[in-house]
Every structure is written in structure tokens, then in C-alpha cells.
Amino acid sequence: MSLLVVGLSHRSAPVSVLERAALVGDEQAKLVQDTLAAEPATEATVLATCNRIELYADVDKFHAGVAELSTLLAQHTGVGLDELTPYLYVHYEDRAVHHLFSVACGLDSMVVGEGQILGQIKDALALGQELHTAGRLLNDLFQQALRVGKRAHSETGIDRAGQSLVTFGLEQLAQGAPVAEWARGKRALVIGAGSMSSLAAATLARAGVSELVIANRTLERALRLAESLAQQHAATPAAIIPAGEDGSASAETGTETGAETSAETLREGLVARAVPRDRVSAELPHADIVVSCTGATGLVLTAAELRTALAQRAACPPGAHPAAADVSLLDLAMPRDIDAAAHRIEGLHLVDIESLAEAAAEPSGAPGSSAGAMAADVDKVRTIVSEEVAAFGAAQRAAHITPTVVALRTMAADVVASEIARLDGRLPDLDDKQRAEITQTVRRVVDKLLHAPTVRVKQLASTPGGAGYADALRELFDLDPQAVAAVSRADGSARTAEPNDPKGGRA
């Protein structure tokens, strides 16, 4: 079996294709299950982010695996195979390991060095474990990828370029001004309460926005996020649905009468509120900054809704909003949440995945320190990745021969037991002490004969091209293939049944 990855990302495909290919809802799980049902694959999981979709599988045939995985990606993304194929990339065996480790370190991200990819890799591993589609290879691979990513961030300054796509997006909205200076005192609306939206909300809270509204389909989740941010930033949590039809800020004080207090009367600090997503249109006219990242299949904010909000905003009392300031929109969803027509509406400044990709492609587009320092960090991370790929390959090759060695020792133990039984029949007068001494002597002879070759064959098997040593061992000692397979199955079951790895598996 061999590792294969087929995918597309912001480096291989335009955003228009990535948007159409985005997997929403339970499509990720369906893709993984269908991949495992396909003949070439025995393990599978998918890594899906706002700018990449990668299908990982353990396959027994390269060409059949590429064809099957490509077809499955086309079927589940809804993009025709002929249209999708030019944008797909394929990595196999060590190159596939190198690719994932590079992704984990942030080398392949739109914003080099961003750390959120580690959480997304952890999600991909969790999906495979939950669906029981990740066996020994993918469990080992993804857990090691997490460790490699953490090592890169701890041993180098790779993350100096920016902590996340959220940070990069806000910097683009700020147009050269410090984000904290640009955001201070503004009202922000965050649509969604997933990992990306939560990161955006936390970043805006740190930047000093005066009011933060979290709108989510599940209100309880938005409430938890609003209350957490309010506590962290010494604010009065105001996590309820606004009472006014105009969407004006209000907060439940927690008194027995259930009285409400306007946001302006709360003590100084961040005002954090939660509303259901169907209240977005009421909140929109009061927001200076809007960040959206949901899993919706259609638009969350249409051009018509944005124009209506601008008209309502214009009717607000003087001083209610920053003078001569556009409403800043950050769309981090894939497919997009905010109508692309917003780019052409006066009074709006939209930054989306497509504009972020363009900005990141410019030599001076990515945030961070000097180019020289960043290049040095990237070189260090590449060295780490190369070291870890070699170590992972050696460990996998060594593990590949282990079942054969175990089967050989089991066969030797069976031979010893059989010969001792024959000796008992030929020398029935042996007492227990004599029998035990003979048995121990025979076992020592067998162990000494097997020790050097088994140690050496493990060393040789860990070298590139060493997979053939297991086959040679099976041929030389005429080992039963079923016995070797039984050891492999037992080893794989034990690995996948293990609890979360404290050294870097799941949190």
C-alpha cells in the first residue's frame, strides 16, 4: 500500500474554481466514505479549507488510484472532471508526505506561516477517525504532521509573517494603517461562530472595537463566544437578541424584571452581543466592519441587502458612524458569503478570498517582517520538513517489516515447542528440571541465531528501497503470508484503537 494525495488549492486553481469545488455540509464525510468504498483505497480522509481540497488515501495501485480519486473529487464537488483535471495536483509516497508536512508548517498557505492550518489538519484526522477510515498509515501521517508543524513554529520564526488569514484580511481592509488603530472604537458584526469566525471575533476584540455582534444560526454557540470575549476584555456581556426592530444595540442586565440597557449606558469596554443569523439585516446598518465565514451554500449578504443597509446607515443621526468611512467587509467563506457585486458598490470596501490571493501573490503583499528574515525562516522550515520526511519514511519502512519479523519469531517458537514435545516422547524419564534446562538452551540458541539477522533486516528495511527485504525474508524462511497479514491487522487495530496521542494527535 502507498500514500496518494489528489487535490487543488489556491496555488493550482483560480478562486472561481475553488469556490465551486468547496465541500459544504456533510459532503466531506460522504467523499471520504465513497473513497474507502472504491477498490484502490484502504484508508482515506480529506483536508478541506477555504483555499484547498485534498483527498488523502492509502492505495495499492497508483494509476487506478489517481483516476478514482480524481473522479470522486469531481462527483462530490460538482465540477466536471474535464474542467477540474487541469487544476488537480498529485503527490505520491514520500512526495505526498513532504506535501502534507509543508502544509502543516504553513509553507503552502496563502499567508506563509499561518498557524490555523494545524487545526484544520487535526479536523481532517478527526474526520477519518470518526468515520473509521483512517488506519495506521493516515493516523501516523497526520499525527506526525501536527508535530512537524508545531516544531516549525517553535524552532523558527515562520509565523512572523502573520498568524492567520484573518489577520491578513484585516490588514488589507486597514490599507496600511495598523489594524488596532483602524479598528479602535468601531462596531463590528461577525457572521458565523466557527473556528475562522471565532478567530476573527477575538482579533477584532483585541484590536479595540467598541461593539462586537456575533450572528449565528445556532444562537447558543454565538452566546458562548460573546460571553467569553466579554469576560476576556473586561466588558459587560450583552448576549441577547436586540429588542428593537431597527436592530439598535440592547443588552439584558440580568435583573429580576428582565429590563434592558442600551449599549451606550454600559461601563466602558467591549460590548459583545449575540443574535440569530436572521437578525443580520437589522444589525448591518449599524456595523462599520463585517466579517463573514459560514458554511452556507448560498449568499449570506446579497447586493440588494447591502444597498438597503447603506441607505439605512445614511439615515442614522450625525456622528453615529465614522465620518466619510466605507463599510469594511471581509469574506473568508468558500463558497463566498458576500455578493461579489459589493466590489462595485460605492460606500463598501470588500476583501474576499480572491482579493487576498491576489494580494498574497504580490512581492510586498504578504504581511510580516523583512524579506530576508522571512526567507531565512522559510529555509529553516524546509530543512525541518526534509528531515522529518526522511525520518517518517524510515519509520514506515521499518514498521513494514515488523510483521514479517514477528511471524518469523513466532514460527521459530513453534518449531522449538514441537521439538521439545518430540523430545518428551523419546526421553520420557527426564525430570522437570532437566526438561526446563533443555528447553531454555534450545530457545537461547534460536534467539542468538535470529538476533543479528532480524536487527540487520530492520536497519536495511528503513533505508530507501528497503521494502524488498520483507519479501526476501518471507521467501527465505517460507513464512505463511496469512500469518504475516494477521500480525499486520492486529498491529493496525491496536494503533487505531489507541486513545488520543498526548504528543500531538488530537486535542
Closest-CA residue to 145 (of 160, 128, 133): 128
Which residues face 301 on adjacent strands? 338
Query: Which cell numbers hold the place of 6?
Result: 489528489
DSSP-based three-state secondary structure for 251: strand
SS3 of 67-103 = HHHHHHHHHHHCCCHHHHHHHCEEEECHHHHHHHHHH
Is 316 a catalytic site residue? no
Query: Which cell numbers hold the place of 306?
Result: 447591502
CB–CB of 324/363 below 8 Å?
A: no
DSSP states of 187-207 as a string?
EEEEE--SHHHHHHHHHHHHH
Closest-CA residue to 329 (of 320, 346, 342): 342
CB-CB neighbours of 298 under 10 Å: 8
- Sequence length of the chain is 507
CA 236 to CA 251: how far, in whole Å? 9
Which residues face 252 on adjacent strands? 260
CA 419 to CA 427: how far, in whole Å? 12
CA 303 to CA 201: how far, in whole Å? 24
CB–CB of 213/283 below 8 Å?
A: yes
CA 352 to CA 26: how far, in whole Å? 24
CA 432 to CA 438: how far, in whole Å? 10
Backbone torsions φ then ψ of 139, nearest 5 degrees: -60, -50
Backbone torsions φ then ψ of 236, nearest 5 degrees: -90, 115
Helix, strand, coil percent values for the chain (each to nearest 5): 55, 15, 30
Closest-CA residue to 100 (of 46, 63, 50): 46
Angle (nearest 5°) at CA 378 between 372 and 380: 105
Query: Which cell numbers hold the place of 477?
Result: 524462511
Which of 50, 105, 293, 316 is catalytic? The answer is: 50
Q: Directed axis angle between helix 116-130 and helix 94-104, to 10°? A: 130
CA 354 to CA 331: how far, in whole Å? 10
* HSE, side-chain direction, 13 A CA sphere, residue 148: 32
Beta-strand relationship, 2-9 and 52-59:
antiparallel
Q: Which helix (H) or strand (E) holds 469?
A: helix 468-476
Hey, which residues are catalytic here? Answer: 50
